[in-house]
Amino acid sequence: MKLVVSVEISENCQRILQSWWEKSKQQGQLIHISDVKHLTYSELKKLMQKCGGFDLVIGGSPCNNLSGNNRTTRDGLDGEHSSCFFDYCRILELVRWISLNP
């Protein structure tokens, strides 16, 4: 991968991704952004100009983790980090807009 932009509030998850990046000997650049709220129109535009656009935008669900181990504790869209789900839609729309209106 040439460039990965990781938006992750959890420092543990940031460390896991950084560790994987280093162990897998990725040749590109990994950019960490600590909070989705920092991804404004101008910041996204700068990132897209730097990397030439995004090939893939991935969003997570606040309703469940990958293993399903949090079935008893998940709060869905009422949970602590649920606003991130709505920010995903905002970011995806901004990426589309910037791509169509360079």
Q: Is 5 helix (H, G, I), strand (E, B) or coil?
A: strand
Q: Rounded to the nearest 5 degrees, what angle is found at the Cα of 57, between the Cα atoms of 37 and 99?
A: 90
Q: pTM (2 decimals)? A: 0.66
Give yes or no for residue 32 having a pLDDT over 70.
yes
Mean per-residue pLDDT over the chain, rounded: 77
Domain membership of residue 14 as a residue range: 3-100
Give yes or no for residue 62 having a pLDDT over 60.
no
Catalytic residue among 51, 63, 84, 89: 63
**Taking the chain, what is the end-to-end CA distance rounded to the nearest angstrom?**
23
How many domains does one find in the chain?
1
Q: Is 6 helix (H, G, I), strand (E, B) or coil?
A: strand
Is 84 labeled as catalytic in the residue annotation?
Answer: no
Q: Is 88 helix (H, G, I), strand (E, B) or coil?
A: helix
CA distance linking residue 54 with residue 96, whole number of Å: 10
DSSP assignment of 22-68 equals: HHTT--SEEEEES-GGG--HHHHHHHHHHHTS-S------TT--TT-
